[in-house]
Amino acid sequence: MSRLITSICLLAVMAAGCFWAVYIVDKRTDELSEMVSKTEKAYVDGNKEECVAAADELQKMWNDFIEKGILVNDLGHAVEITSSIAEISSFAQEQNEELYAACDRAQAQIKLFKDMQTPTLWKIL
């Protein structure tokens, strides 16, 4: 009987850990997406200092997130996001119009990353 209770407790702890990880990924990707939008808005408004500051903050946020790689099971996709965020930072400093494309690409990759981390019955089976 104690083995059954122990097994149930372990299952509950694992499930809680999984849901916590999904919550963290969900929260962080929303924050990253908002920062990409903030960077793009600052560029549209012509505020170079705010645009560069937002791009630098975006890069810092992503690096902090990716350092906790235990939450990330798709590091190949994470490299693509890292590349897009680096482009955003570079284009923000140069005030290059390619910033629009880099922001759109980063938004799409972040959304895909978020969707890939969300558990569904289809992914479990």
The pTM assigned to this predicted structure is: 0.82
Higher pLDDT, 22 or 105: 105
83: pLDDT strictly greater than 80: yes
pLDDT in tens, 16-70: 888 888 888 889 899 999 999 999 999 999 888 999 999 999 999 998 888 876 5
Closest among 50, 56, 65 to 85, alpha carbons compared: 56
Note down the domain range covering 110. Answer: 2-124
Task: Give the model's confidence band at 109: pLDDT under 50 very low, under 70 low, under 90 confident, else very high.
Answer: very high
In CATH, what number is assigned to the domain containing residue 119?
1.20.120
Number of domains in the chain: 1
